[in-house]
Amino acid sequence: MSNIALPFKRYTITSALPYANGPLHIGHLAGAYIPADIYVRFLRLNNKDVVYVCGSDEHGAAITIKAKKEGTTPQAIIDKYHAQIKLSFEQFGISFDIYHRTSEKIHHELSQEFFLNLYEKGEFIEQVTEQYYDEEYHQFLADRYITGTCPNCKSEGAYGDQCEKCGTSLNPTDLINPISTLSGKPPVLRETRHWYLPLDKYQPWLEEWLLEGKKEVLKPNVYGQCRSWLKSGLQPRSMTRDLDWGVDVPLEEAKGKKLYVWLDAPIGYISATKQWALDTGNDWEKYWKKQINPADDACLIHFIGKDNIVFHCITFPSILHAHGEYILPENVPANEFLNLEGDKLSTSRNHAVWLHEYLDEFPGKQDELRYVLTSILPETSDSEFTWKDFQARVNNELVAIFGNFINRVLVLSHKYFGGKVMETSQLTDTDRFIFSELERYPKHIAGSVTQFRFREALAQFMNVARLGNKYLADSEPWKLVKTDEERVKSVLNVSLQIAANLAIMARPFLPHTAQRMFAMLNFEAAGWQQAGRHDLLPAGHQLGEAQLLFEKITDEQVDAQLAKLSKAKETNARAAKTVPEAKPNISFEEFVRMDIRVGKILAAEKVAKTKKLLKLTIDTGIDRRTVVSGIAEFFAPEEVVGKQVAILVNLEPREIKGIVSQGMILMAEDKDGRLDFVVPQTEVQSGSTIR
Ligand SMILES: [Zn+2]
């Protein structure tokens, strides 16, 4: 396997640091973690020197806002979610060498070191400017503390540092109609001093390094975004903030100020590597710093979602470049977004499949989710997860093809030959075709993985399983065993070689399944270079016990998940409802034309064959009359008798369900459609006017 395109000796792989302000959902996994994990596992299988780092991003306004919302401290928020996120990653087999956190001292120190390095070189522009300030909360408003309309794409809800819709990075003063997310009010301007990174100064360098140097390397979606930002011209960006949570700016004159979270967060990759090196006795600088001989430099790859492209392709490389001692990213294979059941994934609307809930509901089925997410990764455009598709892929592919093949080979081998691999006597043309296919596939899969085309890689992997399943089904050893046992030995041998190859090639994609297959085959592969061979299991080799690898997802399971999502939608719709907008003004004359009186309900009965209607007999003070009222869902007839009500008596009579209704009872209706009577505070004479 010499043609695998892995030209570097050493690899530094990062996945985007998740914000420690909420649990993880499938969109996170599909964005920056499953692709990176497949890549890293593949590198390790090829015996590459690789470090894979990640950690919780524990600074930034998202954390402090969450703490305010939950009535607790930022520290309590990050402790809770860091532990939860870390556990989810472990459970899904995301194989970080370290999962660190940016609240650690080693990270604060390294971030300050970076800031001082650039400060002492005179890279920053120090500037007093007018910034938005919330007078009610006594706080400057940056990043997520301020929202408004994006000046670029005109969508609402853009944040002070970025529009998540179009990905453009912003300054708070760029926003149209800015609003404080603390008080909900328009902010005022106040003077404050900050330190700006002169991105405009680095623009010529970025054009050369990125636009010219990475044209053939970056994915088209990533390259296109970078080109459009550079085309519109970069502006200096403030690297400091007036906040009380984050890394202190290490300057006397900046007391009380913090580093911008997108300055310190990517440095989190480096501090995580530093901590890992301390823990394991490694040298972190080999993975991050330029080496004396450039050929010894590590290959740095950032796996992220598309909302982070600007920070990983423009800001962070500019910081690394200005510092000078560090390597630059080789590639930034950003994914687009994953949608769920026709709608955007949303934490605030609870429209998500949460990883911790998934594992409660589908225990032990991590690889099933990894499989389905890998087959629909949003590599080139947004993609969609639906539970029906999840069920179809698990049942029709994992269970019916892959799992079925592995189970059949093992069960038959145990049944006919005591679980021993038998000699092949004579190879047929079909056998030879299978062997040549086995040789071909690992190269194709490797080619796809090294080009970050993981969907394609997984599809090829499934083709190997299909090949095996078809070979076994066509060969029909269960019939053949009565007439030609020698041929059955060969068929099962060939099938077992396919199974062993599948076990090796499953490792990057389905790590838990691969482990179980190795146990079933009683075999462990040294690495990817063994894939493609057809003598992995020698004659006489004793197999382990057969187990079912996958089981079907039932309709009930799918229905339960869909019901859960629609319940969240309902809850959300209720919360989102507000009181109706004001109607246009009317004149006093128009108002006094309405004759509204206090009346008393004398009798009430349900209107037959209706749910909502009560027939009421009302003493209006003027007369006794019949009114049909739509209140039966909220009041039983016996409850309302004797109640005083407000009644519009000069409404044109109307026939409702065959009853002539003479007037209308006035009711209060809340945003959820609940009704209540409008009544005087103390009992008044029937016929009293209301105006
Ligand atoms: Zn925008």
Whether residue 357 is predicted with pLDDT greater than 60 in this model: the reply is yes
> What is the mean predicted confidence (pLDDT) over 288-306?
96
Ligand 1 centroid – CA 144 distance (Å): 15
Whether residue 340 is predicted with pLDDT greater than 50 in this model: the reply is yes
| Bind-site residues for Zn(2+) | 150, 153, 163, 166
Query: What is the length of the chain?
Result: 691
> What is the mean predicted confidence (pLDDT) over 458-485?
97
Ligand 1 centroid – CA 79 distance (Å): 32
Ligand 1 centroid – CA 158 distance (Å): 7
Closest CA to 148 of 136, 135, 132: 132
Using CA atoms, how far apart are residues 386 and 389, in angstroms rounded to an integer?
5
Ligand 1 centroid – CA 175 distance (Å): 10
Ligand 1 centroid – CA 290 distance (Å): 36
**How would you classify residue 609: left for phi > 0, otherwise alpha for psi between -120 and 50, otherwise beta?**
left
Using CA atoms, how far apart are residues 218 and 210, in angstroms rounded to an integer?
9
| Bind-site residues for ATP | 347
Q: Regarding predicted confidence, which is higher, 518 or 2?
A: 518
- pLDDT category of residue 277 using cuts at 50, 70 and 90: very high
Q: What is the pLDDT of residues 593-624, one digit of tens each?
A: 999 999 999 999 999 888 899 999 999 999 99
Ligand 1 centroid – CA 620 distance (Å): 59
Ligand 1 centroid – CA 147 distance (Å): 12
Q: What is the pLDDT of residues 89-134, one digit of tens each?
A: 999 999 999 999 999 999 999 999 999 999 999 999 999 999 999 9
Beta-bridge partners for 197: 237
Whether residue 579 is predicted with pLDDT greater than 80 in this model: the reply is no
| Bind-site residues | 150, 153, 163, 166, 347
Ligand 1 centroid – CA 168 distance (Å): 6
Using CA atoms, how far apart are residues 628 and 616, in angstroms rounded to an integer?
6
Ligand 1 centroid – CA 170 distance (Å): 9
Helix %, strand %, coil % of the chain (to 5): 45, 20, 35
Ligand 1 centroid – CA 184 distance (Å): 21
Beta-bridge partners for 627: 616
DSSP 61: H
Q: Between helices 485-506 and 511-521, what is the axis angle to 10°?
A: 150
Go through the domains of the chain in sequence order and give each one's CATH number.
2-113+265-335 (3.40.50.620), 122-254 (2.170.220.10), 355-530 (1.10.730.10), 588-690 (2.40.50.140)
Ligand 1 centroid – CA 233 distance (Å): 16
Ligand 1 centroid – CA 212 distance (Å): 26
Amino acid at 372: V
Ligand 1 centroid – CA 308 distance (Å): 14
Ligand 1 centroid – CA 314 distance (Å): 17
